[in-house]
Amino acid sequence: MFHDPIYMILVMLPAVALSTFAQWRVKSAYGTWSRVRNEKGLSGLDTARVIMRSVGLEDVGIGRVAGRLTDHYDPRAKEMRLSESSTQPTVAAMAIVAHELGHAEQDKTGHAMLRLRASLVPAANLGSQLGLLLIIAGLLLNVLGLAWLGVFLFSAMVAFTLVTLPVEFDASRRAKRYLTDLDLVSPGEREGVDAVLNAAALTYVAAAAAALLNLIYYVSLLRRRS
Catalytic residue of the set 79, 100, 168, 191: 100
The secondary structure element, H or E, covering residue 82 is strand 79-82
- CA-based angle 203:99:101, to the nearest 5? 140
The Cα–Cα gap between 27 and 195 comes to: 11
**Burial per residue of 156-176, b for 16 or more beta-carbon CB atoms within 10 angstroms, e otherwise:** bbbbbbbbbbbbbbbbbebbb
50 Cβ partners below 8 Å, 6+ apart? 42, 182, 184
The Cα–Cα gap between 185 and 178 comes to: 10
**Burial per residue of 99-125, b for 16 or more beta-carbon CB atoms within 10 angstroms, e otherwise:** bbbbbbbbbeeebebbeebeebeebbe
Amino acid at 103: H
**70 close to 80: Cβ distance less than 8 angstroms:** no
The secondary structure element, H or E, covering residue 73 is strand 72-74
The Cα–Cα gap between 21 and 47 comes to: 30
100 is annotated as an active-site residue: yes
76 Cβ partners below 8 Å, 6+ apart? none
Give catalytic residue positions. Answer: 100
